[in-house]
Amino acid sequence: RKEVEQDPGPFNVPEGATVAFNCTYSNSASQSFFWYRQDCRKEPKLLMSVYSSGNEDGRFTAQLNRASQYISLLIRDSKLSDSATYLCVVNGSGYGNKLVFGAGTILRVKS
Amino acid sequence: DAGVTQSPTHLIKTRGQQVTLRCSPKSGHDTVSWYQQALGQGPQFIFQYYEEEERQRGNFPDRFSGHQFPNYSSELNVNALLLGDSALYLCASSPWTGSNAQHFGDGTRLSIL
């Protein structure tokens, strides 16, 4: 079983749609959680951290369920520029630990 | 404020050769991590350096080695290159303490012929 699992998609949605991505992780000791965005042939860029209480950044909302070891990302009012691969990322406990990436979920927003 | 910089951008090598990739971390960051990303996959952790020592290592063979310099920059060395080593190699930096979010460089795209 992979440490971080995501639906690879692709998710094909029209502009303005709301889309949700889910992710599960296997290491119950994980302490930090992130969503990264990666454009084709580019480096991953931090989209947002994910907190236990849930957090929002503009059109993006992230949720964490520690009991179920489940992370989600909701994108409202999708834009063409949201088309990318979204990587679910988990970090271990303590300082300076490695990031464990899911394989990514592909989002394609169409006009 | 310069972000994470990597060199070279692209590299073509043949099987059996050796390669060295370089990374300069973001200003204020003292920890450097290296990742390998094969096509269609998420990045896979290779190893992490802090205070010029390898602190953690992923599931990669000894052909993969690294170094960190006093100015926090780092090198990734791969010996005896295999076709399967073809990938995007990403360097990420972060502070050792505080938030664990890491910032990535543009990567080095390595092709093995």
Express each pLDDT in A64-96 by its tens digit.
999 999 999 999 999 999 999 999 999 876 666
**Dist. CA B50–CA B16, nearest whole Å:** 29
Please write the tens of the pLDDT for every residue from B57-79.
999 999 999 999 999 999 999 99
Burial class (CB in 10 A: 0-12, 13-18, 19+), B15: exposed
Q: Which two tokens stand for residue A75?
A: 């994108």
Stretch B32-42: mean pLDDT, rounded? 95
User: CA of B79, closest CA in chain A: separation in Å?
Assistant: 23
Q: Which residues in A lie closer than 8 A to residue B31 (C-beta atoms)? A: 96
Q: Which of B46, B94, B102, B108 to mutate to test the interface with A (most CBs of A within 10 A)?
A: B102
Q: Which residues have a Cβ under 8 Å from the Cβ of A8 and sit 6 or more positions away? A: A103, A104, A105, A106
A100, B104: Cβ pair inside 8 Å? no
